[in-house]
Amino acid sequence: MFEFKIIAECSKTGARAGELITPHGIIKTPVFMPVGTLATVKSMSPSELKEINSQIILGNTYHLYLRPGNEIISKAGGLHKFMSWNRPILTDSGGFQVFSLAKLQKITDENVLCRSHIDGSQLIMSPEWSMKFQGVLGSDIAMCFDQCCEFPASHDKAEEAVRRTTLWAERSKEFFSRNNDKSKQALFGIIQGSIYDDLRERSAKEITSLDFPGYAIGGLSVGESHAEMYHSLDLLNNLMPREKPRYLMGVGYPTNIVEGIARGVDMFDCVMPTRNGRNGTLFISSGRINMRGKTHADEFIPLDSECDCYTCKNFTRAYLRHLSICGEILGARLNSWHNLRFTVRIAEQAREAIIAGNFPEFCEKFLSNFHDDPNIDAQ
């Protein structure tokens, strides 16, 4: 059971508001998806994630295969039951680990040989391996196994990754079609190509020809400039099927989300809200601030008066700074709670604006207001 329908579109941009129907519920898009790499969004319980209106979260095939492993997840009855989460889940294929663990592996068309970052044991990753374990995980959305390039990458290297990504997408779909339960799980294809227009066009043509129920944009937010990212999204907005959901992988900086929505993206994910929260870097309506900075020591005001999260309703900046400076676990939790809600809320507000017909005004206001505090690194 998987269906995507567009509810409203912005006549001046590529922004769309939609509904993504999955076996574990309807996802209202645009949507930001918190990352739960190891079957947990760091420091947040499932009930707290629901309180901030997380409609869908992510898990990672590579990491979950290593810990707790295939046998435990299978005995638990899948990832939903294992982590007590009854809303949709998307699982990354492990393809990004081919990129992020580059020093530990050998890539061929057949598979990827790497060593576990935990104990050094050898792991053989392939499209078939990824599809099989994602079937065990039982995620609502599975991702094709792909190859992501570092940035910068030569045209030849990026072209090789595009060729291999298409090959692996074909094998992923073939194995998935024969072995996975298509009534409970959908498989998304991934478009690669780095910042090269011809390669993005080629990858989009090859991957969309395989007729997946949804498509992801990979290989961005890996070091390229924002302008280069937006150029690629502008290009792909005209190349990806209008009737299918579009997922920009690994992007979670607030302005990138808004700019992505304006270019037709429906889904986003990133570890940034929780990672920054643990480090005391917080997103507020005016931009990004360092909660550990001395300027906040005697600010007995809400973190963000415009935010509706538990942190902003109950605690002051002075208290949050105190927790961060002291290294208290509660500080990391409250900061992460706020950053997640703030990021989830961006997508909600964008959706409301698209439906109301005033998305360009929302976009302009948000981008003009959101800036990094010049003292972001000061403590």
Looking at the chain, how many residues does it have? 379
Beta-bridged to residue 60, according to DSSP, are 92
Cα Dmax for the chain:
62
State the Cα–Cα distance between residues 59 and 91, nearest whole angstrom: 5
Exposed, middle or buried: residue 41 (CB in 10 Å: 0-12, 13-18, 19+)? buried
Question: Is-catalytic flag, 92?
Answer: yes
The residue annotated as part of the active site, out of 92, 146, 266, 304, is 92
Question: Is-catalytic flag, 156?
Answer: no
| Secondary structure string (H, E, C) spanning 113-126 | EEECCCCCCEEEEC
The residue annotated as part of the active site, out of 140, 146, 266, 269, is 269
Torsion of the alpha carbons at 309, 315, 317 and 319, rounded to the nearest 10: -140
Sorted by sequence, the CB contacts under 8 Å of residue 115 that are 6+ apart come out as 104, 105, 121, 122, 123
State the Cα–Cα distance between residues 263 and 259, nearest whole angstrom: 7
Q: Which of the 8 DSSP states describes residue 165? A: H
Q: Which of the 8 DSSP states describes residue 104? A: G
**In angstroms, how far is the first alpha carbon of the chain from the final one?**
51
Rg of the chain in Å (alpha carbons): 20
Token pair for residue 292? 């550990």
Residues classed as catalytic: 92, 269
